[in-house]
Structure 1
Amino acid sequence: MASSNDTSLAVSCRNVGMVWAEGTPRAHEALCGIDLDVKPGEFVTLLGPSGCGKSTLLYLIAGLETATGGTLTAFGKKVTDPSPERSLIFQETSLFPWLSVWQNVTFGLWVNGRKARERREVAADALQRVGLYHAIDKRPDELSGGMRQRVAVARALAMRPKVLLMDEPFAALDVQTRAKMQDFLIDVWKDSSASILFVTHHIDEAVALSDRVAVFTARPGRIKTIVPVDLPRPRDLFSPEAEALRRHLTELLRDEVDRAFAEQEMMSAA
């Protein structure tokens, strides 16, 4: 395993832990002993039961929260604050309804004081990459759910990130739109050369997208194992190889899901 300050790694986690509300009666351990390396341009999926700390790990990598243990670096530099190099995309698109699509895409650039003409040029390029240039002057409420998620991706791309952190971005979409968005994301990922860490509960989604799948235990979240996905792209998700991988991931998750449900039932009964 490479050292935590290895500049060749997009993200490196060493024994990372997180305790929410540490030192209070409400304290609970979300993550414990996370060791994970992500290479530049690699697509890694975080798969696990609800409440196992997958999203928490994204927040730590984004610099929105500070780990209570361990070391976390990006390209050899310790993560202490948010950075344009690491963009986080949430499940909810969080677009501003009063702004046009191009203004939403370049909101971060506006905060940084970039001029309107330059921002619009950046927006045009980002929207072209996600296939939404025609919507540049529309408002978010004029777009479908899948189109709004593409705008959220374009907003992240406008900051030219080296790492895209995606927290169940397609969870609210119907099955057909989700499949289309997965294909779209693979195209954008190849074009951008960014590393992607993608949180999902869906085994099919992990098989469709990943170079590797990090399987999490129930809370406190640990990485149970990391499974390589050696399937050619574009992927045939009905192939015997894909089916075998789905079965393997299902077996790895079964005990963890049972533990997570048992814990939730205990908390509800308390």
Structure 2
Amino acid sequence: MRDTSKPPLLRCRNVGKTFPTETVPFLALDGIDLDIDRREFVVFLGPSGCGKSTLLYLIAGLENITSGSIESGGVAVTGPGTDRGLIFQESSLFPWMTVGENVTFGLKLQGVSLARRQEVASELLRKVGLSDAGDKRPDQLSGGMRQRAAMARALALRPEVLLLDEPFAALDVQTRSKMQDFLIEVWRDSGASMLFVTHHIDEAVALADRVVVFTARPGRIKSIVPIDMPRPRDPRSPDFRALTDHLTDLLRDEVDRAFAEQERVS
């Protein structure tokens, strides 16, 4: 249950994003109003091209908003900040660095001593189950292990919110399920809020406190669905299936609209 007596960690008000093109400007997001509480796990769900990832990048400060406002901790977002960590679909680890060096790269930029960086790397790699991987290169790790290392790197700066753009998209079904369980443990241990983009309805129900359902382009919020189920969640349970059915119904028209738009463009 959300505690609305406290100010939200993140606040989006009438957020819009338009990308310039050679012809007609492209409206990606329109009129986004959304609050994210501290320690909350929120999933963005919608058809391809609806602006889920765009909103994530706006919150991260990697893109500028066209209209409206975004605040993090009561401060306007005008660019990237250590209060917000971002994890992409690919791990984006530096291949020439060891895993340990990757994890503490941000701390090195901040001038943190080598001894302290090594201490942080050891602690975080232990938390993500990679204690023996600190001296390895990223290409020596599996896809799931690289994403865990990317989480450790993001957590090294102690962000208040972790932004995840389909981080498990490239993983097989079994590894994806394990990574979902792992992410819940990281979320509980870190105390950070999580914003997670996915196309998978089952994944949304497995992870979220709330699911934000987006319309087809231009992306608007169609519905916000709270999920009040204890974790871990059994995907075979009647409550789980009822929620996936409800979200499927909410998305059906939006997916049809998105396909129709793609056919017009092509």
Interval of TM-score (by shorter of Structure 1 and Structure 2)? over 0.9
User: 1:8 maps to what in 2?
Assistant: 7
User: 2:223 maps to what in 1?
Assistant: 225
C-alpha distance in structure 1 between counterparts of 2:67 and 2:142, whole Å:
41
C-alpha distance in structure 1 between counterparts of 2:122 and 2:34, whole Å:
35
SS of residue paired to 1:244: helix
1:32 to 30, 34, 40: 30
1:132-211 to structure 2, matched below 5 A, reads 132-211=130-209
Are the structure 2 counterparts of residues 213 and 241 from structure 1 closer, same or farther at C-alpha, using a change threshold of 3 Å? Answer: same
1:95 to 89, 93, 96: 93
1:237-252 to structure 2, matched below 5 A, reads 237-252=235-250
SS of residue paired to 1:135: coil
1:7: how far off? Answer: 7.7
SS of residue paired to 1:13: strand
Q: Does 1:19 align with 2:18?
A: yes
User: 1:3 maps to what in 2?
Assistant: none
Matched to 1:245, the amino acid is L
Map Cα deviations across residues 71-94 of structure 1 (whole Å, 9 max, x no partner).
110111111111011001000111
Of stretches 169-178 and 94-103 in structure 1, the one that deviates more from structure 2 is 94-103
User: 1:110 maps to what in 2?
Assistant: 108
Size of the aligned set, in residue pairs, is 262
2:72 to 65, 71, 74: 74
User: 1:265 maps to what in 2?
Assistant: 263
User: 2:58 maps to what in 1?
Assistant: 60
Unaligned stretches of 5+ residues in structure 1: 1-5
CA contact (8 A) 1:7 1:75 kept: no
1:176: how far off? Answer: 0.1
1:106: how far off? Answer: 1.0
Percent of paired sites with the same residue = 66
C-alpha distance in structure 1 between counterparts of 2:119 and 2:59, whole Å:
29
Matched to 2:209, the amino acid is D
1:124: how far off? Answer: 1.1
Unaligned stretches of 5+ residues in structure 2: none
RMSD over equivalenced CA pairs, Å: 1.3
Are the structure 2 counterparts of residues 245 and 102 from structure 1 closer, same or farther at C-alpha, using a change threshold of 3 Å? Answer: same
C-alpha distance in structure 2 between counterparts of 1:259 and 1:156, whole Å:
36
C-alpha distance in structure 1 between counterparts of 2:6 and 2:210, whole Å:
20
C-alpha distance in structure 2 between counterparts of 1:85 and 1:15, whole Å:
22
C-alpha distance in structure 2 between counterparts of 1:81 and 1:218, whole Å:
27
Map Cα deviations across residues 217-267 of structure 1 (whole Å, 9 max, x no partner).
000000000000111111111100000000000000000000001001100
Q: Does 1:122 align with 2:125?
A: no
CA contact (8 A) 1:7 1:76 kept: no
SS of residue paired to 1:133: coil
